[in-house]
Structure 1
């Protein structure tokens, strides 16, 4: 049965920038956790950022630049966290990832615009993009039904 890399904050770990979590409660996720199929990971913390920390956004995409509200360049930490996310996903044989939406590390389809105005733009977070670039399917908490269908197909294939 396939494993899933999951944002640690979605499992209740206080790793977000504000030292909070975004615990996601769902019976299927709880079952997978009991079965040892969930691999918790926080790219931001793995990349060396503290908890709590100042909010960060992707200021520009090419070349990539991630800054906090004060303009401090956090790009190296985000890139390292993305590389480590990929390493963990590959080492643990994760077939996919369930990541926190809108995050500069984990957002799948959208992130904030880099100006700290609460405006969303199309584009993936740094770790989500790295995982997808290497063929790992990425879902966020708004796409649980798609994740469940994907995992059902993975489990059927493995049977």
Structure 2
């Protein structure tokens, strides 16, 4: 039974930087949950960061908080833990939170902490993609479910 790695915040867990969640309600996800196929994971928490925590954005290849604290090591470690989990459980697909410096699939914030988004990938999304794990955002649910149906 194929499992799906999912950003914990999308499953209602209050792990976002602001201590909130982004609970994503979708019948397809509910079905996968009932089948025991969802694996919740927050790379930032796995990387050792607290909840809540200062907002962070990628700038010049580094992950920096609004007050310029470099948290790249924690973000990279969390990404490595996500990859390790996927390999251990044979996970080939992930549903990650768009625009996050960890999980952003298509967009991330530009590093200025001004709310501006740019094309790009978060550290976890990039590492997973580079290791042949298909990553989708919550804005790509039809494509995700199509990919899961193919396997």
Range of TM-score over shorter length: over 0.9
> How many residues get paired?
151
1:59 CA drift (Å): 1.1
Which residue of 84, 109, 113 corresponds with 1:116?
A: 113
1:43 is aligned to 43
- Counterparts of 1:136 and 1:95, CA distance in 2: 5
C-alpha RMSD over aligned residues: 0.6
Tell me how far apart the structure 1 counterparts of residues 92 and 34 of structure 2 sit (CA, whole Å). Answer: 18
Separation in structure 2 between the aligned mates of residue 26 and residue 119 of structure 1, nearest angstrom: 28
Runs in 1 of length 4+ with deviation above 2 angstroms?
A: none
**Which of 59, 65, 69 is 1:68 aligned to?**
65
Is it true that 1:81 corresponds to 2:78 in the alignment?
A: yes
What corresponds to 1:20 in structure 2?
A: 20
Between the aligned partners of 1:143 and 1:109, the Cα distance in structure 2 is 10
In the TM superposition, what is the alpha-carbon distance from 1:26 to its structure 2 partner?
0.7
Deviation at 1:121, TM superposition (A): 1.1
Q: Which runs of 5+ in 2 are unaligned?
A: none
How far is the alpha carbon of 1:92 from its aligned partner? 1.2
Give the 3-state SS of the residue equivalent to 1:6 in structure 2.
strand
TM-fit CA distance, 1:93: 1.0
Q: How does 1:82-101 map to 2 (within 5 A)?
A: 82-101=79-98
> What secondary structure sits across from 1:132 in the alignment?
helix
Q: Paired residue for 2:145?
A: 148
- Give 1:53's aligned residue: 53
Cα deviations by residue, 1:44-87 (Å, 9 ceiling, x for unpaired): 00000000001000011xxx200000000000000000000000
Tell me the TM-score normalized by structure 2. Answer: 0.98
Q: Matched residue of 2:99: which SS?
A: coil
Q: Which runs of 5+ in 1 are unaligned?
A: 155-159
Q: Distance in 1 between matches of 2:109 and 2:26?
A: 27
> What is the CA-CA distance between 1:38 and the residue it aligns to?
0.5
Distance in 1 between residues matched to 2:136 and 2:28, nearest whole Å: 15
Structure 2 residue 138 is the aligned partner of structure 1 residue 138: no
